[in-house]
């Protein structure tokens, strides 16, 4: 693959414990494109779901489908360079946000440039990576491509100086249009939906929430009922993560023993919740101790089982 035109960084997933002293971008095989803003890559033989950084796919079904189809045509089955820094942040499930480069083309930038997605700021500013995507969005707006087409609001014209003849009466304040709402909602890149106002979505930026009139509408949009919330105490230490991980592995083993039954899916769902919690505790520890191979192996195994708890389900919601 040709050398990358992008700045050299830790071109690996911190959440996967690849330490950052890379001199060249790492390449990974894309094995599937499950959504408009996620891809699954092979990492050490394991499938890992990662989110695309600095972009937001359309909320409507038609827009997301178009974005997913373009992304699939671009990268599915191909080896891509993966660019990552911790400032890119993570998605709702704790997966790393990354930029992908294929044959010197930044995939994230291409989706924004064609109007199939919008630019979205990262957890922390990364101008070297974000400025190109911002510029791509400016061009897409100017060309009125994709989401910026005829139905999109036009940019305001440049202000023109005017001669003031007499003081004008203050204009009546324009009431802001009420935001749509509903009894159920989900974050754009979250698999699950929740009751509006529940703790799971209380801290989410309202601009990223999609609301549904009922549970049937949420399911038609591809969302799943939220797993039972598990209150798992943790003090952020490796010891507490080990305890949570052990509980998750035990539930995973129970799911395997349950055989081909619907109860197996219930157990896998519980395992997913517990393993997700363990991963959330392990991940910042791995970032602080990138040379700790033993800790990295725990996170790798945790992520593998977490992924398996989703893939092994037979009776989908």
Provide the 8-state DSSP code for 273.
H
**Residues 131 and 26 grouped into a single domain:** yes
* 63 falls within a domain: yes
Sequence-distant (≥ 6) Cβ neighbours of residue 302 within 8 angstroms:
245, 248, 275, 278, 279, 282
pLDDT tens digits, one per residue of 250-272: 999 998 888 887 788 888 888 88
* 178 falls within a domain: no
Q: Could you tell me the pLDDT band of residue 151, with boundaries at 50, 70 and 90?
A: low
pLDDT at 6 over 70: no
Paired strand residues for 119:
55
User: Percent of the chain scored above 70 by pLDDT?
Assistant: 74
**Residues 134 and 188 grouped into a single domain:** no
**Residues 208 and 243 grouped into a single domain:** no
- 3-state class (DSSP) for residue 180: coil
Full residue range of the structural domain in which residue 264 is found: 238-311
**Residues 243 and 221 grouped into a single domain:** no
- 3-state class (DSSP) for residue 62: helix
Strand ranges (E), the chain: 26-35, 38-43, 46-52, 55-56, 79-83, 97-102, 105-106, 118-119, 184-187, 192-195, 209-212, 224-225
For 139, phi then psi, to 5°, come to: -70, -40
The pTM (predicted TM-score) of the whole model is 0.47
What's 41's domain CATH number? 2.40.50.90
The chain-wide mean pLDDT, for the chain, equals: 78
Strands 97-102 and 46-52: parallel
The closest of 252, 245, 310 to 282, measured between CA atoms, is: 245
* 317 falls within a domain: no
**Residues 125 and 213 grouped into a single domain:** no
**Residues 134 and 248 grouped into a single domain:** no
Q: How many domains does the chain have?
A: 3
**Residues 192 and 220 grouped into a single domain:** yes
**Residues 103 and 207 grouped into a single domain:** no
* 287 falls within a domain: yes
């Amino acid at each position: 693959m040709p050398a990358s035109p992008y700045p050299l960084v830790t071109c690996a997933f911190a959440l996967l414990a690849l330490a950052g002293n890379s001199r060249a971008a790492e390449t990974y095989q894309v094995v599937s494109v499950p959504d408009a803003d996620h891809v699954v890559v092979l990492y050490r033989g394991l499938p890992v779901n990662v989110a695309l950084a600095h972009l937001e796919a359309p909320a409507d079904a038609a827009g997301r489908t178009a974005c997913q189809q373009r992304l699939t045509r671009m990268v599915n089955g191909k080896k891509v360079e993966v660019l990552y820094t911790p400032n890119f942040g993570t998605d709702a499930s704790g997966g790393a946000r990354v930029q992908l480069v294929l044959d010197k083309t930044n995939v994230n930038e291409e989706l924004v440039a064609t109007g199939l997605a919008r630019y979205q700021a990262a957890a922390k500013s990364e101008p070297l990576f974000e400025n190109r995507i911002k510029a791509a969005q400016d061009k897409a707006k100017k060309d009125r491509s994709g989401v910026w087409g005829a139905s999109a609001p036009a940019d305001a014209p440049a202000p023109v100086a005017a001669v003031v003849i007499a003081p004008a009466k203050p204009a009546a304040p324009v009431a802001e249009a009420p935001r749509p709402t509903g009894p159920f909602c989900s974050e754009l890149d979250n698999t699950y939906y929740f009751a509006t106002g529940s703790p799971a979505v209380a801290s989410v930026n309202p601009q990223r929430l999609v609301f549904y009139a009922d549970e049937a509408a949420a399911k038609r949009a591809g969302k799943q009922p939220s797993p039972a919330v598990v209150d798992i105490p943790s003090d952020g230490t490796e010891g507490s993560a080990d305890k949570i991980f052990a509980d998750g592995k035990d539930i995973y083993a129970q799911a395997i023993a349950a055989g081909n039954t619907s109860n197996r899916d219930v157990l896998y769902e519980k395992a997913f919740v517990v393993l997700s919690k363990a991963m959330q505790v392990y991940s910042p520890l791995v970032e602080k101790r990138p040379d700790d191979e033993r800790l990295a192996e725990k996170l790798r195994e945790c992520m593998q089982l977490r992924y398996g708890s989703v893939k092994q389900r037979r009776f989908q919601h």
